Structures are given as structure tokens and as C-alpha cells.
Structure 1
């Protein structure tokens, strides 16, 4: 009788609570697992281009509380997405982008995923309110570091290895745009301000406001108006007499950027005391030629890395676009030893006076005739 009583006690009194506890445990595990999956999906969703309402933009930026920068396109504000993800919100002016073209470019740029290209997180297109939301870059833009100390070379700020690493990273980002996407993307505005640096100073291409998309098989491009920034704009973007508009136009801009990384200042600097050094690319070319061909004893006071970057830059800024290497070849040159590089033929500015150079840099009248074909 005692045994029967114990069995009844276990079956009807102790077992149900045990089962309930076990079921509660399973439910807890299931719910916890679901929460983790939801968190993961939400995180992934937050990294994909998402369309936001303007009221969302106000909330994300805290009513535009912290301004990061200002440009011809509009203003950039710091923002926070749900989950604490930091972003940079670029509010575009009314003339920056228009209608369906804006949406189409956002959808296309949203598919770009490369370590050296800033990720587009989302966008807003609500009436006249248009915005682009990018991942936040802790260290800002490259120009803050290479123009900080006047004539001081940025190799004094970055180690020589990091200097070369940044140049390579930028080149890899350009190569991805030219060759790694379904469509060929020409940036048309590569300059220090548009190179952002993450927390480890890894470079990322940004600001695709002037970018154009073309089929990958097209080697030549026709555009209706000049685009770019004076000092970085390829000559063929100014006039067809300098050659065809193509991916080589971005290579030219990259070369001018490299020159500024090496020189640690703007390429054309009227504040330099010595007139011969006002236009840095011309000065460094002449000095490299003198040193190699005339065995000059003048000390250039630059390292091998800086000399290599200068040679690569001089190849990139050849006046004739067909004489420039493509970006894949540029990467090979950056990864090679200095001894394997030779001085290129004279760039257009090398034999010109400083007045002629200034005139070429400032004259941005655009020849709208059809561009000529590459040789």
C-alpha cells in the first residue's frame, strides 16, 4: 500500500511540476534562440541599404545636432541607428541629385561591398528631402592628416609602411569600382577629402555624388559636362584634345592624390617660399630626372617609399590618357620594389612654365564634342 501511495504521489503530485519546469526551460531556450536570431537579422538588415522617412532622419541625427562637415553637396551629420550603430548622414542640396536617377544610383551603390569602399547603409528620398546614410568613419578624411603641418611630409604622421598601405588600399577600392562590380563605376572625384579613414586608419572611398555607371565592356565614356575637382580632374575631362574619357580619368586623380600624400601639402601651393617648388609634381619630377640621369648630388630628403610613390604618381598623371597605366597595373607598381620602376616620359607640366601650369589647372571650360578614342 505504501508503494502504491508513493507511485501516486510521484505521478500526480511531483511529475506535473517537473514537466512544467522542463517545458518552461524548453520555451525559454526557444525564446532566447529566437531573440538571438532576431538580433542577428536586425543587425544584418541595418547594414543593408534601407529607405528611411525624413522623420527617421531627424530622429537618427538627433535633430541634426552634431555636424561633421560641409560641402557643395550639402551637410554631413553624425547619427545613431537603433542598436547603437554610428552613421554619417549626408543631407543633399536640391541640385545634388534628382528623382529616379537618385533612387537608381542608391540601389546600385547599395550593392557595393568592399573593404576599401564606404558602405551605404540607407537613404531618404521624400519630396525635396534627400539624404545618404553611410557607415561612420572614426578618423575622418585623409586631408586632415596630410595637410596638417604645411611642408611636413605625411610620412612623419604615418609610418612609411602605413603610408604605402593607405595608397594600396585606395587603389584596391578603385580597382573594385572599375572591375569588381556588375557595372563599371567611375568615381570622377577622387581626392583627399573623399578618402575616409576607419578606426585603424584603413582608407575607404566615399562621396559618389559625381560617379557614373557604365557597362563593363565599355572602355570609352561620353559625358555632357565636366565633373571633378580642379587640381585632381583629368585633362580629358576639360577638353577632348587631351584624349578619351575612361577609367584612366580616375587613375589621373589617384596620381594627384599620391603626390599630395608624398609632399604633405597641396600640389599647387602659392605660399611656398621657393618659386621652383610652388608646383610640387613638376619639382619632384625634375629632381628625380636630375638624380637619375645627371647624377645630381642634391639630397632630395625623401625615403625610398616616398620616391616609389612619386614615380607611380608620375605615371598616373600623364597628359595622354593612353600613356597612363590602368589601376590594376598601378597596384602592381605599388607592390613592387623601387628598383623595378623607371621614370616615365615627361608629364605635360614638366616642360611648362608655372604660369602655363596655373592656366591649365584653372581653365575648366569644357569641350562638349564627342571624345576621341583611345589609341
Structure 2
């Protein structure tokens, strides 16, 4: 099974650039990145041949009506697994790819799920090179976490004026998270103290990634390491004290001065 993504390019220079990028991206191999199998650039048809992800996009699972029989009742463990997959894919693009690639458009519709619910990052072919920063990707990744646990889109009507998704969550963090976390996620963790701690830490990572200053945001490599340790805690293979150390490690790897200032502002609010 394959998927065909059709392209509509009017600009000849942009098309030439895409052709060059496809040659590079076709050689990229990572189990959390959608692979370009082939590309067609005929006069009357231009498209990419991709692996088919039978469970569709993460956006579909987040925004399908709860009464729909296709609705996936994803819980904290599923969210954590998906975000770890995405983090590994982004980490490869930022740190391990032969040429650093910045995604520039990380969002639920660009996360596809295969038959095993393994997450595959797609639509990263337009952020190759240039002056864009990986810290923008980290911010988008943080938004992805917050969107999953709250089931609120950044464009939701409740975000008016200077209110946005990260600020809305941060105002409830950590003592009033029941006011902002999705009811399905709350049901999933309410009876388990360890799961509650994992949820708080998971949201904390999302807030760190969406820090206002790019220098305060961690790298995707640090995020991957922290979330792997959170998953270990959620599976019962680590103590609750390890959760605190994971976040502390993440803070130590950001700019120390700005991280301290950020912490002070959070405690004040």
C-alpha cells in the first residue's frame, strides 16, 4: 500500500528546489519519518510516492467526534508513545541527518500513524537549510503535546487577546490541571498517583518547549531522553523521584540564566 501526494507548483525555481530536496530526502532512513519512495515531475502531474499510514493522521484521532466508532480513545501512555516517536524523528532531522533539516510545520496533521500506531513525521521537505532555527520546531513540538492533553487547538475561540494555548495551560500548572486537561486523559490517570505525576511531568515538558525565548527551549535530543525516562516511569520501572530529576536535567540543558528567570516567573504566577 502506498500514498500519493500531489503537488501543484507554478514557480519553476521552487520546483527545481523541491527536486533537489527530494533527491536528498529519498535517501533519509529513520523509522519515525515517512519515507519518500519515488517522485514524479511530469508536465501534467507532479507527486510524491510515500508509504501508506493506515491509521491516518494524529489530527483525525484528536478531532474525531467521541461518538464516532472510528474515534481512538487515546490515553496518556498512547500520547507519550506518539510524542516519543515524533521526538525521535525530529531529533534525527536536527542532529543526525547528513544535512540538518528544520521541519517548520510540526502539527497533528503532519503526524501519521501506521498499523501499529507508530508515529511517522511527514511534510518536512520544505524546511531544508536556510536561516530557520530548530528552536521553532521545538516550540511547535511543545504545542503538539499541549494540544494532545487538552484537545484544544491553538486556534480555538477561547484564545483571544494575548491568551494562547501555552499561557492557558501554564496558568493552571501544576495545581489546577483538571481545569484544562481533557476528560478522557483525566479518567485514564485519576486512580493512579504515579500516572498523575507522569502527566504533570509530561505537561511540564510541553511548557518548557513553548518557552517564549528560544534560548529557554531544550533541544529535541534532550526532549527525547526525558520522555523515554517518563515512559519508563509510567511503566512502573522507575520511582517517582526520577520524574523530578528528568525535568531538572532538561532545565540544566537550557540557558541557565533564562531558565532560572523562567522558573521565577512561573512560581510568581
Structure showing the higher strand proportion among its residues: 1
In structure 2, C-alpha distance between the alignment counterparts of 1:347 and 1:327, rounded to whole Å: 24
Which residue in the other structure is 2:221 paired with?
328
Checking the alignment, whether the CA contact within 8 Å between 1:259 and 1:309 is kept in structure 2 is: no
In structure 1, C-alpha distance between the alignment counterparts of 2:265 and 2:22, rounded to whole Å: 37
Gaps of 5+ in 2: 67-71, 190-195, 231-242, 252-258
**1:105 partnered with 2:10:** no
- Structure 1 ranges of 4+ moved more than 6 A: 296-301, 346-352
The residue matched to 1:336 in structure 2 has which SS?
helix
**1:339 partnered with 2:244:** yes
Which residue in the other structure is 2:30 paired with?
114
The residue matched to 2:173 in structure 1 has which SS?
helix
Checking the alignment, whether the CA contact within 8 Å between 2:102 and 2:134 is kept in structure 1 is: yes
Which residue in the other structure is 1:286 paired with?
171
Which residue in the other structure is 1:258 paired with?
145
How big is each residue's C-alpha offset from its partner over 1:63-87, in whole Å with a ceiling of 9 and x where there is no partner? xxxxxxxxxxxxxxxxxxxxxxx11
Count the aligned residue pairs: 225
Which residue in the other structure is 1:203 paired with?
119
CA RMSD of aligned residues (A): 3.3
With over 3 angstroms needed to count, the CA separation of the structure-2 counterparts of 1:297 and 1:125, relative to structure 1, is closer
Greater mean deviation of Cα atoms: 299-308 or 204-213: 299-308
TM-score (norm 1): 0.53
How big is each residue's C-alpha offset from its partner over 1:149-181, in whole Å with a ceiling of 9 and x where there is no partner? 48xxxxx81232221111100000001111221
1:295-374 to structure 2, matched below 5 A, reads 302=186, 303=189, 304=196, 305-337=198-230, 338-340=243-245, 341=247, 345=262
The structure with higher relative contact order (CA 8 Å, sep 6+) is 2
Structure showing the higher helix proportion among its residues: 2
In structure 1, C-alpha distance between the alignment counterparts of 2:102 and 2:75, rounded to whole Å: 30
1:76-115 to structure 2, matched below 5 A, reads 86-95=1-10, 98-115=14-31
Cα displacement (A) at 1:319? 1.5
1:134-145 to structure 2, matched below 5 A, reads 134-145=50-61
Gaps of 5+ in 1: 1-85, 151-155, 214-220, 223-244, 353-375
In structure 2, C-alpha distance between the alignment counterparts of 1:347 and 1:87, rounded to whole Å: 50
TM-score (norm 2): 0.73
Checking the alignment, whether the CA contact within 8 Å between 1:259 and 1:267 is kept in structure 2 is: no
Cα displacement (A) at 1:116? 0.3
